[in-house]
Structure 1
């Protein structure tokens, strides 16, 4: 079966202590795209991502991943999802290879080339080194390796370039684009670095006060809005609106 969308969220609500942090939220992530999720701190980005991977239960709403309801088919769906949410955690005394072997066992996946995956994230010769000796950037690379090693259809990444130097940022940018083009993945990525999102994304979703207030193709922003993504984003979150393909500032 072919799917038009990788993720479809309708009417999502999440409350904590009787306070709505996600309210009537709708989101559509096209299959085979890189979807950049943008929002200021506290807007609800990480909460949505945690709900998508089953770490939080929604209060209300429908969440479909490849047309399957996450509430009904959670176990099967998550076999096809890889993720980094917040700071990745590992078994510190074990090597990178051993950490990945544990993850593969947990996912029920065999015959995966661990060394190849480590090479893809720039950890070519570090597979036998204990994670306790890894720098922040190396841990982030290993987290990305763990997210992709079971060949998921959907990759959910929350601030994936945290701790990476400029070389690492560029390498991961190229990796994400390759995963979509050559490995048939869809990527949903959240980042505070607007310039990075602008370089890799096909579609932009902007969340403000717990709801997606705008979904737009990056090509449309580039074509119709001369000031680019940064100015577009700040005006949207500050209450701007779109009228006749013009950004109306408020």
Structure 2
């Protein structure tokens, strides 16, 4: 009972401390990113290395998730559209479902699960080996040398993954609708073009940038504050992934609601 009472008394305080620390680190990392780019001191070699690492880590899982998502959306949308006699609108519903929600959600899960865990494990291992302390002693700023390049790489890779999911999801839905559900290519593409506007894609890409930023901040902060040896690295990775997924889903709901409020759908 005493442990439980102490946990519930101290946990909110520790959560607020972690949240404040992550906000501070995020602001500092973004400032370092822009200042270094402006001064020509940005470590592009580390940035390119991290982009290649993140892309190689996340592309294959993204492809394997995007195809089933496109098929599932096509099956559900095609079934409902057929029941109400609106099978010609399957392209519009499928496209909107994938671009507005499917692509950002898949991107958030893959970024948090693949990229975020890799960042946290890398920095956590460096922390418990005291490499971060050694860098500080030698006058090397970890924020500039390690965090800023990973922040920029995560945002870039997240945008590319979101566009990749949109393309694969649309292509999968199109092929499944035409070849498996006896749909017509013309109706699928025409209804898709009528209902899906460029703002939907822009919203998805903006979401992906924010998702990549949040995942990188959470993963870097958790990795740099790892304690407890190898077991602490495992706990940090688990914490980073869980916190990232919860936060990204909440941010996705907020951004979707704001977009629907500020830019309501027009009647075609």
| TM range, smaller chain | under 0.3
Structure number with the higher strand fraction is: 1
Which has the bigger relative contact order, CA under 8 A and spacing at least 6? 2
Larger radius of gyration: 2
Structure number with the higher helix fraction is: 2
User: What TM-score do you get using the length of structure 2 for normalisation?
Assistant: 0.23
User: What TM-score do you get using the length of structure 1 for normalisation?
Assistant: 0.24
